[in-house]
Amino acid sequence: MMDLFQKCWDYTLAKEAMEAGIYPYFHALQTGQDTVVTMEGRRTIMIGSNNYLGLTSDPRVIDAAVEATKKYGSGCSGSRFLNGTLDLHLELEKQLADFLHKEACITFSTGFQSNLGIISAIAGRNDLIFCDKENHASIYDACRLSYATMIRYRHNDMEDLERVLKEAPDNKGKLIVTDGVFSMGGEICNLPEIVRLAKKYGARVMVDDAHGLGVLGEHGRGTAEYFGLEDEVDIIMGTFSKSLASLGGFMAAKEEIVSYVKHNSRPFIFSASIPPANAAAALRALNILKEEPERVRKVNDIAEYMRGLLRKKGIPLRETKVPIIPIMTYDNIRTFVICKELLNEGVYVNPVISPAVPQGQSMIRTSYTSTHTHELMDEAAEIFEKVFSRV
C-alpha cells in the first residue's frame, strides 16, 4: 500500500546539501533589509534582495507603518469583501491607479495571490492564455486555477507567439500574460510586439510588472511607461514587496475590469486584507517614488557601475538593462559552492539552479538598490574576483 508521505521520506537533497556544508537557503538576518546587513552574525553586503529603491529601511516608510498600526491595530480580521476594507486601502488603490494612469486599482494580500486572483477571475474554461515559458510561477498556478487552456510560447520569441495566436480559434477569449522584467534572467519583455500581435489577433494584454515598477520608465511606472505603451496594456499587475518596501500586490485596469475581479475573484474574496502597517508602508513608499523619481535613475546607474566592474574582472555575466545581473555558474553544485564562499567572504547572492533554469545554465542572481554606493560595489566585486579565482 502506497504511503502518501513516501515522497517526503525519499526527499534527501536538502539534507545532503546541509551535510556537505553548501546548503544556500534560509540564512537568517539579525538586522533589517538594507545594503549592508548582519546575516548569521556577520557583516554582509546585500546584493540579493528586491529592495530596488532602498525604501525598506527609510524612516518615513517605517514611521508610516508604525502610525498605521497605532491607529488601526495589527490586522483587519476579515476580507476586503466584508469587514476588512479600510479607508487606507481605498487611498492606496486610488493613488496607484492615478500613478499608473489607469481608471481603477484593486489590492491583494500578496504578489503571488495577485496573479492567482486576477487570472483565475478574468479567464475561464472557454478562454486561452498565452504564457511566456519563463513567466513567474504564480502565473502558471493562476492559469491552472482559471481552468482556461494555457498555451506556452518560447521565451520572448515573438514569432512563436504569433504562431500560436494564429492557430487559436476566433470564438475563444484570448489573454497574453508576460512578465515585464523577467525576474531570473533580467530580460525586458518585447512589449511593443506583444501589443501589436494582441491587436492583430484580438487578444488582451496583462503585464506582471513586479520587477518593472520603480525600475523602468522615467517616473518608475514600469515596462509600459518604458515603451510608451501605458494606454495599450489592459492589465498591470505589481507587488509591494520590492520597490514599494512592503507586502501585498495590486491590479490596475479599467473600472469595469477591476469591478468584475472584485466581485468574482475567489483569492480576493476569501482572503484577509492587507494589514494596516503594510498598506501604509506601500502608500508612503509610492509617494516617495513620486517625490524622488531620481531613485529610478540611481538604481540603474549603480547596476551599470557593477556590470562594468564585473566585466573588467572577467566574471561571466549575462548582459541586462535592469538592476538584475545574472552571473553564470552553469553547474548546480558549483553554484552552491560559490554562494557559500561569497557568503563566507561577506556577500549575499541568490542561487538559481535547475529545474528553475535549464540544466547546465545555473546562475547567481544579483540585484541592486538605489542606496548602494560605489565603495560597496568595489568591495563586492573584489570578493567576486577572489571567489571565482579559486572555485
* Catalytic annotation, pick one of 183, 241, 243, 367: 183
- 250 assigned to some structural domain: yes
Residues 42, 112, single domain; the answer is no
Distance CA 174, CA 169 (A): 10
Residues sharing a CB contact under 8 Å with residue 76, sequence separation 6 or more, in sequence order: 83, 84, 85, 86, 272, 273, 274, 275, 276
> What pLDDT was estimated at residue 105?
98
* Burial grade of 137 (CB within 10 A; 0-12, 13-18, 19 or more): exposed
* Catalytic annotation, pick one of 102, 174, 242, 372: 242
Domain boundary pick from 238, 264, 291: 291
Residues 342, 276, single domain; the answer is no
Distance CA 181, CA 187 (A): 6
User: Domain containing 375: what range?
Assistant: 13-46+293-390
Helix residue ranges, H only, 46-204: 59-72, 87-99, 111-122, 137-146, 158-167, 191-201
- 2 assigned to some structural domain: no
Helix residue ranges, H only, 182-233: 191-201, 223-227
- 371 assigned to some structural domain: yes
Residues 239, 176, single domain; the answer is yes
Quickly tell me which residue has 534582495 as its cell.
49
Amino acid letter, 326: P
- 160 assigned to some structural domain: yes
> What pLDDT was estimated at residue 270?
96
SS3 category, 248: coil
Residues 277, 173, single domain; the answer is yes
> What pLDDT was estimated at residue 356?
79
With beta carbons less than 8 A apart as the criterion, state whether 184 and 155 touch.
Answer: no
Show the cell assigned to 160: 512563436
Residues sharing a CB contact under 8 Å with residue 348, sequence separation 6 or more, in sequence order: 27, 37, 39, 44, 45, 46, 47, 48, 342
Residues 297, 272, single domain; the answer is no
Domain boundary pick from 225, 259, 291: 291
Residues 368, 383, single domain; the answer is yes
Q: What is the total count of domains within the chain?
A: 2
Q: Which residues of the chain have pLDDT under 70?
A: none
Amino acid letter, 261: V
Distance CA 54, CA 269 (A): 32
H or E element, residue 6: helix 6-10
Residues sharing a CB contact under 8 Å with residue 184, sequence separation 6 or more, in sequence order: 134, 324, 326, 352, 356, 357, 363, 365
Residues 306, 280, single domain; the answer is no
With beta carbons less than 8 A apart as the criterion, state whether 107 and 93 touch.
Answer: yes
- 338 assigned to some structural domain: yes
Half-sphere exposure of 161 (CA within 13 A, CB side): 27
Residues 253, 265, single domain; the answer is yes
Domain boundary pick from 291, 312, 341: 291
Cα 179 from chain centre = 9
H or E element, residue 206: strand 204-208
Show the cell assigned to 8: 517526503
Distance CA 286, CA 280 (A): 10
Residues 75, 25, single domain; the answer is no
- 122 assigned to some structural domain: yes
* Catalytic annotation, pick one of 89, 174, 211, 340: 211
Average pLDDT over all residues of the chain: 96
- 1 assigned to some structural domain: no
Residues shown for the chain: 391
Active site residue 340: no
Q: pLDDT, tens digit, for every residue of 249-267?
A: 999 999 999 999 999 999 9
Residues 235, 367, single domain; the answer is no
Q: Give me the CATH number covering residue 35.
A: 3.90.1150.10
- 215 assigned to some structural domain: yes
Active site residue 57: no
Give the angle 122-94-211 at the CA atoms, nearest 5°. Answer: 65
Number of neighbouring beta carbons within 10 Å of residue 323: 30
Residue 14 β-bridge partners: none
Q: Give me the CATH number covering residue 217.
A: 3.40.640.10
Residues 21, 167, single domain; the answer is no
What phi and psi, each to the nearest 5 degrees, are found at residue 219? -105, 5
Active site residue 200: no
Residues 114, 239, single domain; the answer is yes
